[in-house]
Amino acid sequence: MIEQNFIKTYEDSFKKNWNLPALTDYKGDKSYTYGELAAEIAKIHILFSELGIEKGDRISLVGKNHSSWSILFMATITYGAIIVPILHEFNPESIEHIIDHSESKLAFINSSLWENINKNNINITVFETPSFALLKSSNEKAEETAKSIDKRFNKVFPDGFKKEDIKYAKVDNSEVVCINYTSGTTGYSKGVMITANNFAGNITYAGKLNLLFPGERILAFLPMAHVYGSAFDFLYSLSTGVHITLLGVSPTPQNLINALDEVRPNIIITVPLIFEKIYKKKILPVISQPLVKFLLKIKGIDKLILNKIKNSLIKSLGGNFREVIIGGAALNAEVEAFFYRMRFPFTVGYGMTECAPLIAYDHHNDFIPTSCGSVLKDIMEARIDSTDPENDPGEIQVRGENVMSGYYRNPEATKAAFTNDGWLKTGDLGIMRGSRLFIKGRLKTMILSANGQNIYPEEIESRLNNLPYIADSVVVLRDNKLIALVYPDKEALKSNNISLERLTEIMEDNKGLLNKVVAKYERLSGIEIMEKEFEKTPKKSIKRYLYQ
């Protein structure tokens, strides 16, 4: 058990950082210091109390990154209730199901999402965010309480809200504080029960690394309803006195560049997709030019070119960060190799929702290409289910402080997730050298060829996605032949006026290029062009089960 109490962390942080900026809505009019944030949390606690919410009750929260979302999350866990953050990108039926399955007593939801919800399927009190207007009530006191919350707050704190008024529920680290429903590629959503200890393991480890310091800045553009964004952009940052700017708008490349330039964060936490797009759209066209290709082969001159590219990229990302942490999925191998070659300050971590989320991490100075970091010292353990774990891939299995307590109301899935001796089965295939992990692919996606070779489709797709006019791909086995399903880059096709007939020829050329650089048993027999974009999870991972 982590010694530091998770909830007490925020009592201490809010008092210590009282006058520092805590939350700001990008392009919005809301901004809060740590003291103001604590006061808003106190108001929500009064609301919960008046509505009869008790310790351990579940409260659903649906919406994009916003200061109101942040306040509600913190108010719930510091009250002693259990937060159920629901990704706003889930379809209405999934949102309805999660609210019902989690047995939530109260829900907060953005009005645009509420419009598409079947109200007959929601039988609890629902408030709108960010206004806190009542949308539906199962409690006669709800409307009156919501309207008079400021008056009630002033009555409780007649002399104003002060540091010494911050007194949060006593929540043991062993208790569940969050139920996070997964959005994986298997099509099966489960409620991961995350304890205070799970979150404490993540934030105390990040604290030991000194990733951020009081008064520094971060831009939260990953969805905080997902545990990756929640743990580091949000929970860790608030525990340290960091100023969080919540993007709140679609994280398009232009929106991100503008926001990063304005916020100038001290660290950037992101997913592979962002950097893969930067590489393919901005860097690859430059380094593919014949003259640049030639110069990059000349020792000394190559460093000048790489430094120019690196410095330009750093400037476009705000120019003030110490490190970029990439997680949530595997980074394209070609992209990773280039960024490492130009000594860009990045690292790739590894985790999963069931570990809230971190399993492995290395500082960018220690990062080794193709790895996903070292297992967290004194926090987590890992083993490979293989007779030769350094060379022969097997399932990565973990145990430690960050591992969930199980799946909510799903004992069968909980039992299936663990080995008989208590290790969590990650479903990822990898090897481990020392304490450093190297992921090869997903256990469920590995393809066994006719001659007994293990094929990891993600490795083939990684190469494919950097070839001309390919936006996304999925490699499948049909009649013992490898086929690549490819969704073309529609934007590039349009700008270059590429016809369907010409695209077919290009894909045939791409197949030839790929087959020259992969093992014989990894060669493609064909490429099929998809008319529609692949269906994806909110983390932008392809729902592979739909295309097998």
* 500 in any annotated domain: yes
Tokens for 296, please give them.
């990059």
Looking at 442, 463, 484, which one is the last position of a domain? Answer: 442
Buried b (16+ CB within 10 A) or exposed e, 23-42: bbbbeeebebbbbbbbbbbb
Residue 186's pLDDT band, with cuts at 50, 70 and 90, is very low
User: Which CATH number covers residue 408?
Assistant: 3.40.50.12780
* 365 in any annotated domain: yes
Give the model's pLDDT for residue 539: 65
Helices (H), 342-449: 411-417
Same domain? 436 vs 460: no
Q: Answer yes or no: is pLDDT of 61 > 70.
A: yes
Residue 452's pLDDT band, with cuts at 50, 70 and 90, is low
Same domain? 406 vs 482: no
CA 392 – CA 298 distance, rounded (Å): 37
* 261 in any annotated domain: no
Neighbouring CB atoms inside 10 A of 472's CB total: 18
Q: Hey, which residues does 418 pair with through a beta bridge?
A: 424
User: Which CATH number covers residue 137?
Assistant: 3.40.50.980
CA 474 – CA 442 distance, rounded (Å): 13
CA 228 – CA 194 distance, rounded (Å): 13
User: Which CATH number covers residue 472?
Assistant: 3.30.300.30
For residue 475, give the nearest of 493, 491, 489, 463 by alpha carbon. 463
CA 270 – CA 266 distance, rounded (Å): 13
* 58 in any annotated domain: yes
Q: Mean pLDDT lowest for which of 77-81, 430-434, 447-451, 542-546?
A: 447-451
CA 6 – CA 195 distance, rounded (Å): 9
Q: Answer yes or no: is pLDDT of 113 > 60.
A: yes
Query: What's the gap between Cα 438 and its chain centre?
Result: 20
Report helix, strand or coil for 304: helix
For residue 283, give the nearest of 308, 266, 301, 260 by alpha carbon. 308
CA 233 – CA 235 distance, rounded (Å): 7
Same domain? 506 vs 398: no
* 179 in any annotated domain: yes
Same domain? 358 vs 299: yes
Structural domain boundaries, residue 515: 447-547
| Number of domain units in the chain | 3
Rounded mean pLDDT, 291-310? 95
Residue 234's pLDDT band, with cuts at 50, 70 and 90, is very high
Tens of pLDDT, residues 240-289: 999 999 998 888 888 999 999 999 999 999 998 889 889 988 999 999 99
Tens of pLDDT, residues 333-388: 899 999 999 999 999 999 999 999 999 999 999 999 999 999 999 999 999 999 99
Neighbouring CB atoms inside 10 A of 228's CB total: 25
* 44 in any annotated domain: yes
| Amino acid letter, 50 | E
Same domain? 475 vs 492: yes
Report helix, strand or coil for 465: coil
Q: Is the Cα dihedral 388, 393, 399, 402 positive or negative?
A: positive
Peptide bond before 468: cis, by omega within 30 degrees of 0?
A: no
Same domain? 402 vs 463: no
* 356 in any annotated domain: yes
Rounded mean pLDDT, 201-227? 96
Looking at 382, 409, 442, which one is the last position of a domain? Answer: 442
Give the model's pLDDT for residue 185: 44
* 123 in any annotated domain: yes
Tokens for 64, please give them.
């994009």
Looking at 392, 408, 442, which one is the last position of a domain? Answer: 442
Same domain? 516 vs 414: no
Same domain? 350 vs 473: no
Give the model's pLDDT for residue 12: 98
Same domain? 498 vs 525: yes
Same domain? 272 vs 125: no
Same domain? 294 vs 432: yes
Same domain? 283 vs 430: yes
Q: Answer yes or no: is pLDDT of 153 > 50.
A: yes
CA 113 – CA 546 distance, rounded (Å): 26
For the chain, the residue count is 548
